[in-house]
Amino acid sequence: MKNQSRIWAFLALTALFSQMACGPTNLSKENIIPKPVSTTPTGDSFGMTDQTNIYIQGESAELQQIGQFLADKLNPSTGLGLDVKVITDTPTPGNILLALSENDPELGEEGYELTITNEMIKLTANKPAGLFHGIQTIRQLLPARVESTSAERGPWKIATGTIRDYPVYAYRGAMLDVARHFFEVDEVKAYIDQLAYYKMNVLHLHLADDQGWRIEIKSWPRLTEYGGKTEVGGGVGGFYTQAEYSDIVKYAQQRYVTIIPEIDMPGHTNAALASYPELNISGKSPELYTGIEVGFSTLATHKEVTYKFIDDVIRELAAITPGPYIHIGGDESHSTSIEDYIPFVNRVQDIVISHGKKVLGWDEIALTTLKPNTVVQYWAKAENAIKGVEQGAKVLMSPAKNAYLDMQYDSTSTYGLHWAAYIEVDKAYNWDPATLVPEIKKENIIGIEAALWSETISKLEEAEYLIYPRLPGYAEIGWTPASLRKWDEYKGRLARHGERFKAMNINFYPSKLVKWDKK
Ligand code: IFG
């Protein structure tokens, strides 16, 4: 008997070492999030060495930048010194090739095809955005320690096969409320990096609210000089100069993330009202506000100066926002009568459109006459979103009971609120935007957005406790067909991302619903 067990032990160790030596060989056993549309393993592995380089087909500066992004992510941990080189024909074995394909309609604007043999990694896409998303898959196929910014031991091998992948929804976003508590430029950039890692492509910045105005408007300087100087709890607040905002926009663009700025109105405007008396119905400014009540403020919707103000704000914001949308808020306008709210929102839509942008607004705006390209962001009242559908508007799905990242996991959560629901990581994943509200069909939906309000958090580390581990699930809901999404299978992949969160210094909530330490 003893010999028998010795033989089994020997065989097990041989298998283990051969697995480590020749690397992973089953591409369909990897833990990619979002789950790719199709994966075909070929049972071998590819190893990066210090001879490996990244080749781009053609002189494109954009491909160069994408190649350099990959090199910058892999070199610190692997120490392989990957260079980016231009090539006109097929590179020699042992390398990575990025190339735009002639035409692969199934992949669309953001899809990619990743073909891995034991000699080469070849990534192709119709557009650079697709290559950029494919880069994230390559990163996730490598061991979690590849995400470390310090030297890690190899080998650096990935399983061979082919992945063909493309998203269900075009809009896969997150919202960060920088008004209740201000977040520094570097914190916003770190979040953008994380969104890109999970193939999300929109960051909606909630730039103004009762507690603070966070974006410099040169024609109304007191908005930030005075209206930006505090936050919930009475802290020092802060704001982005237009140069800093443009820096964030550029950083996001390089990661194929679109910035959507929000100026919430006519409610949620105490910071503006405190800065300029003329914007108030009474002509008098309220004090700066550092609490967390909502619904008590309104712009003076009957005064012409209000629309001059809005036109100036939207003009300056549109000029530094390359993305197609400006979000006008429109939520919780409890101090604005509906008779005043409707013409106000109608007029604000015209102002945004006059500056070449499309309108996004919280679901209450569906009570007004929506312009052709206006999008309704469903957060609280399905009946509002349905009114939007009835007007022919697209819906952005952010149902508070499923997609509000500031909801506590359970009653013991250190941060967050629970007015909408407690949202554990399974509830955050177990819903389908296309069937949640029967009257809102897939064709009415532009995409999904997970919203993080910052009443109870004031820095990225605290935000990450609420963002993770739920964000990857929202990324998968936005990217992967619902037919491929099953919580019991997903939670196994998510568990393996715990090591990735750690390697990226992400302060995640270790939900008990996930076996984080199972090897
Ligand atoms: N609702 C408010 C937010 C924020 C949120 C906190 C929307 C659209 C509750 N409006 O969500 O300003 O206070 O969970």
Would the pLDDT of 184 be above 90?
A: yes
CB–CB of 404/377 below 8 Å?
Answer: no
Residue 470: exposed, middle, or buried by beta-carbon count in 10 A (0-12, 13-18, 19+)? buried
Mutate to test the pocket of ligand 1, among 331, 360, 365 (most ligand atoms within 8 A of CB): 331
Among candidates 227, 239, 233, which has minimal Cα distance to 290? 233
Say which CATH architecture domain 24-165 belongs to: 2-Layer Sandwich (3.30)
Q: Which residues contact 463 (CB under 8 A, 6 or more apart)?
A: 176, 183, 187, 191, 452, 454, 457
**Residue boundaries of the structural domains of the chain:** 24-165, 171-503
Q: State in Å: Cα 367 to ligand 1 middle.
A: 18
Query: Tell me, what's the pLDDT at 519?
Result: 58
Would the pLDDT of 382 be above 90?
A: yes
HEC string of 150-201?
A: CCCCCCEEEEEEEEEECCCCCEEEEEEECCCCCCCHHHHHHHHHHHHHCCCC
Mutate to test the pocket of ligand 1, among 332, 422, 423 (most ligand atoms within 8 A of CB): 332
d(CA 260, CA 323): 7
> Bridge partners of 448?
172, 397
Average model confidence (pLDDT) across the chain = 96
Query: Tell me, what's the pLDDT at 368?
Result: 98
Say which of 119, 244, 278, 332 is annotated catalytic.
Answer: 332
Label residue 14 by pLDDT band (50, 70, 90).
low
Mutate to test the pocket of ligand 1, among 453, 456, 466 (most ligand atoms within 8 A of CB): 453
The proportion of the chain whose per-residue pLDDT surpasses 70, expressed as a percent, equals: 97
CB–CB of 201/303 below 8 Å?
Answer: no
Atom of ligand 1 nearest to the CA of 209: 12
SS3 112: strand
Label residue 10 by pLDDT band (50, 70, 90).
confident
Apex 119 CA angle, 116 and 123, nearest 5: 35
d(CA 147, CA 163): 21
Please state the rounded mean pLDDT for residues 244-268: 98
Residue 255's alpha-carbon distances to 162, 221, 232, 475, 507, in angstroms, are 24, 31, 31, 15, 22
Backbone angles phi, psi at 19, to 5 degrees: -60, -50
> Bridge partners of 173?
202, 449
Among candidates 158, 150, 152, which has minimal Cα distance to 94? 158
Query: Tell me, what's the pLDDT at 12?
Result: 64
Write the pLDDT tens digit of every residue in 207-236. Answer: 999 999 999 999 999 999 999 999 999 999
Write the pLDDT tens digit of every residue in 292-332. Answer: 999 999 999 999 999 999 999 999 999 999 999 999 999 99
Where does 53-94 show beta strands of DSSP type E?
54-57, 84-87
Q: State in Å: Cα 405 to ligand 1 middle.
A: 11
Active-site residue 332, yes or no? yes
Q: Selecting from 2.60.120.460, 3.20.20.80, 2.60.40.10, 1.10.510.10, what CATH number does the domain 171-503 have? A: 3.20.20.80
Describe the strand order of the beta sheet including 95-100 as a list of residue ranges: 38-48, 156-165, 112-116, 120-125, 95-100, 54-57, 84-87
Q: State in Å: Cα 453 to ligand 1 middle.
A: 7
Please state the rounded mean pLDDT for residues 283-296: 98
Which amino acid belongs to residue 407? M
* Identical fold, 24-165 and 171-503: no
Would the pLDDT of 127 be above 90?
A: yes
SS3 55: strand
pTM: 0.95
Pocket of ligand 1 (CB under 6 A): 294, 331-332, 362, 379, 404, 406, 417, 453
> Bridge partners of 39?
163
Label residue 21 by pLDDT band (50, 70, 90).
low
Q: Which residues contact 41 (CB under 8 A, 6 or more apart)?
A: 25, 26, 27, 28, 29, 159, 160, 161
Q: Which residues contact 257 (CB under 8 A, 6 or more apart)?
A: 192, 195, 196, 200, 201, 202, 203
Write the pLDDT tens digit of every residue in 72-86. Answer: 999 999 999 999 999
d(CA 305, CA 498): 52
Query: Tell me, what's the pLDDT at 13?
Result: 66
Would the pLDDT of 18 be above 60?
A: no
Write the pLDDT tens digit of every residue in 97-122. Answer: 999 997 899 999 999 999 999 999 99
Residue 338's alpha-carbon distances to 308, 489, 514, in angstroms, are 22, 47, 46
Write the pLDDT tens digit of every residue in 429-454. Answer: 999 999 999 999 999 999 999 999 99
Query: Tell me, what's the pLDDT at 4?
Result: 77
Please state the rounded mean pLDDT for residues 390-419: 98
Write the pLDDT tens digit of every residue in 484-516. Answer: 999 999 999 999 999 999 999 999 999 999 999
Among candidates 383, 344, 350, which has minimal Cα distance to 364? 383
